[in-house]
Structure 1
Amino acid sequence: MGEVDPAFIQDTEHRPKLSIIEAEGIPLIDLSPLNSPDYICDPKAIEVLVREISNACKNWGFFQVINHGVPLEKSKKIETAARKFFAQPPEEKRKIRRDEKCVVGYYDTEHTKNVRDWKEVFDFLVKEPTLVPSSTEPDDKEETQWFNQWPENPPELREVMEDYSQEVEKLSLKLMGLIALSLGLPEDRFKGYFKDQTSFVRLNHYPPCPSPELALGVGRHKDGGALTVLAQDEVGGLEVKRKTDGEWIRVRPTPNAYIINVGDIIQVWSNDKYESVEHRVMVNLEKERFSIPFFLNPAHYTQVKPLEELTNKQNPAKYRPYSWGKFLTLRKLSNFKKLKAENIQIYHFKVSEEAN
């Protein structure tokens, strides 16, 4: 993937700190009660899970889950297929390179001048086609369709990825049910938002980096969607910004676990009770790393705003409504061209304290 541009050293915002706290850090939650035949008949089990989810979302914005119900063989199959895909020559992978017309597919950082994200990725949509706004213009009500691109090799990649995404989608919606309960809402409160979901899965490959002290696998950021479910290999590299003191905490890989994080949409829905937290990915000199995030996103026509059940005169809405479809389309198109508007963030919709 080339060498790290020395100019990158000057970018202090993205440059990794040298002192990182090695810690188990984020909570580990056992979801086995969800998969037990006694689950429905054991309200105490669900109460414990809801309490653990609530504490994790409030204190960390991240947690890990074990005994989650996703068959291990499906995770192994997608990791094997990902390794085969990324092992191909660059010219082969770039046959399905994403662009403005087809926003999902393969992408690498070979062509960039200042390498910030030291990685290559392959994205695919969970729902095909995925309906989105045709433009970012506020008054444009037209829709367009996004489709997947699939490589010729490995031939099993499509089937493996589609199979995997179905299993992780089930897990994501179960977690959304627990999050709803933790907010004092009905378990199915969020279900309707994902009927026409805009979710997608990403295969990440982080090659060994010749100057790991100068680069990041992914720079510091927050996830714009509802929920992210991440599978990572044994190499690790994910770091979470701890809310209590702003220190970066390395998330050590837990065998057969998923890492879950709250996205911006949940932050808005919960009216800041739960917060989307900054995270980043480190690279290393010797080992390549693979990870597979599942980004759970609602339908494009969703108007994201604080839920009425969670707002009142004492706790007024802290965000103005915004169109998720316009938000997503702007984010995707900004990957390919410089837009007039800056990359949109939820703080752009924050209501000033004076207004309240």
Structure 2
Amino acid sequence: MTTATAPVIPRLDLSLALGGDPVARSALARQIDEACRDIGFFTITGHGIDQQLIDDVRRSTAEFFAQPDEYKARFASVTGNEFRGWSVRDAATTADDGGRPVRVREQVEMSRFDSPEDVAAAGYDDEWVRRAEPNVWPERPAGLAEAWKRYHEAVDDLGMALLSLMALALDLPEGHLESRFRRHPSYLACNLYLTPDAEFEGHRFGAHTDIGSLTIVYQDDGPAGIEVLDRSGRWTPIDHEPGAFIVNLGDLMAKWTNDRWVATEHRVRNPEPGEQRTRISIPYFQHPDFDALIECLPGCSDEDDPPRYPAVLAGNWATHRFDTYEKV
């Protein structure tokens, strides 16, 4: 497969639509539908999230990553769950360099629910409470937890606004998708991509599709960012744009729309020789309520294209994907 040199990812300005202009909302919904049918990725500007808040999350997390491993390891999952707390990703160097492991990524992940008690307070039954794992907030730098929680709330609101526009794109009432996200267990991550001195096999994050409904990603201007596998089989880079977010669909949204919309493979490429800077990305993974029933949406099937997937609880789908997830 080849790598494209020209960007093909649609760029959408949300400012007028988020302001409530019905004409702008309708036009943007059509653009979203086209992007979700074609590649399942688009970038957004005019989203309303303050850059200072983004900078606060990035700075505080970078300060955490700069701490010694002995300190960071105190905030890893006690069960080995790589979707909670601090974890690392190693890759093997090339055979010419002895195949030794080198660190290519560190990450920190936190749920919208801080604890199993929060899950219970949201009204979930014991099954979902037992599955919950508490967040493990670092003690320093001071202010990290506060910045993350403020950012999480802001991007939660943005995600709900996008769901409303996506419902319009599917010719559904604006609240149709949002109704499955009243107690959603979405989570936030921060990735630190490192640049090893040696060449290594694979990629800093290998090819994969996301699990949930949609992902909203901030990426800084560090080298070797996200690449998307377009329908022609080309790996297309998404370059950093100040103030913009990348949005992509997860597997669950593709199932929900009966594959009218697509979840597309993407990866984080290796740095080129001489690209010796680290890179930070902040993805937000939006998931429906654990007990939301996900079945083919109205208008996404007909006699010639009946529903392709059995109905599933969103929490069970996420558990299945987490259990079968290959660390890439």
Match of 1:146, SS?
coil
Match of 1:159, SS?
helix
Equivalent pair of 1:116/1:217 in contact (CA under 8 Å): no
Q: Does 1:32 align with 2:15?
A: yes
Cross-structure match for 2:29:
50
Q: Does 1:125 align with 2:111?
A: yes
Match of 2:5, SS?
strand
Cross-structure match for 1:176:
163
Displacement, 1:301?
Answer: 1.2
Whichever residue aligns with residue 168 of structure 1, its letter is V
CA gap of 1:55–1:115, structure 2 versus 1, over 3 A, is farther
Equivalent pair of 1:238/1:280 in contact (CA under 8 Å): yes
Cross-structure match for 1:22:
5
CA gap of 1:213–1:73, structure 2 versus 1, over 3 A, is same
Equivalent pair of 2:113/2:119 in contact (CA under 8 Å): no
Displacement, 1:321?
Answer: 1.7
Cross-structure match for 1:307:
297
Displacement, 1:117?
Answer: 8.1
Structure 1 outlier segments of 4+, above 4 Å: 110-117, 130-133
In 1, Cα distance between the equivalents of 2:16 and 2:80?
Answer: 44
Displacement, 1:107?
Answer: 0.2
**Equivalent of 2:56, from 60, 77, 81?**
77
Whichever residue aligns with residue 12 of structure 2, its letter is I
Unpaired runs of 5+ residues, structure 1, are 1-16, 134-139, 335-341, 345-356
> After the TM superposition, which residues 204-243 of structure 1 pair with which residues of structure 2 at under 5 Å, given as runs?
204-212=191-199, 214-236=201-223, 237-243=225-231
Cross-structure match for 1:338:
none
Cross-structure match for 1:92:
71
Displacement, 1:311?
Answer: 2.5
**Equivalent of 1:289, from 260, 279, 282?**
279
Match of 2:315, SS?
helix
Equivalent pair of 2:260/2:300 in contact (CA under 8 Å): no
Displacement, 1:312?
Answer: 3.1
CA gap of 1:259–1:181, structure 2 versus 1, over 3 A, is same
Once the two structures are overlaid, the 10-residue window that deviates more, 69-78 or 323-332, is: 323-332
Equivalent pair of 2:102/2:196 in contact (CA under 8 Å): no
Whichever residue aligns with residue 247 of structure 1, its letter is R
Equivalent pair of 1:31/1:68 in contact (CA under 8 Å): yes
**Equivalent of 1:153, from 140, 143, 147?**
140
Q: Does 1:65 align with 2:44?
A: yes
Displacement, 1:143?
Answer: 3.8
CA gap of 1:208–1:71, structure 2 versus 1, over 3 A, is same
In 2, Cα distance between the equivalents of 1:315 and 1:69?
Answer: 38
In 1, Cα distance between the equivalents of 2:62 and 2:316?
Answer: 34
Cross-structure match for 1:193:
180
CA gap of 1:252–1:316, structure 2 versus 1, over 3 A, is same
CA gap of 1:43–1:109, structure 2 versus 1, over 3 A, is closer
CA gap of 1:56–1:223, structure 2 versus 1, over 3 A, is same
In 1, Cα distance between the equivalents of 2:301 and 2:5?
Answer: 38
CA gap of 1:117–1:228, structure 2 versus 1, over 3 A, is farther
Equivalent pair of 1:117/1:217 in contact (CA under 8 Å): no
Cross-structure match for 2:317:
327
Displacement, 1:255?
Answer: 0.8
CA gap of 1:115–1:184, structure 2 versus 1, over 3 A, is farther
Equivalent pair of 1:124/1:200 in contact (CA under 8 Å): yes
In 1, Cα distance between the equivalents of 2:40 and 2:258?
Answer: 14
Q: Percent identity?
A: 29
The TM-score with structure 1 as length reference comes to: 0.80
Whichever residue aligns with residue 314 of structure 2, its letter is W
Displacement, 1:110?
Answer: 4.9
Indicate the RMSD between aligned Cα atoms, in angstroms.
Answer: 2.5
Match of 1:23, SS?
coil
Displacement, 1:99?
Answer: 3.8
Equivalent pair of 1:117/1:216 in contact (CA under 8 Å): no
CA gap of 1:86–1:343, structure 2 versus 1, over 3 A, is closer
Displacement, 1:209?
Answer: 2.3
Per-residue CA shift, 1:95-121, capped at 9, x if unaligned? 111242765100012598986982110
CA gap of 1:212–1:199, structure 2 versus 1, over 3 A, is farther
Displacement, 1:327?
Answer: 2.9
In 2, Cα distance between the equivalents of 1:213 and 1:56?
Answer: 34
Unpaired runs of 5+ residues, structure 2, are 93-98, 121-125
Displacement, 1:122?
Answer: 0.2
Displacement, 1:72?
Answer: 1.1
Cross-structure match for 1:162:
149
Match of 1:300, SS?
coil
Equivalent pair of 1:220/1:280 in contact (CA under 8 Å): yes
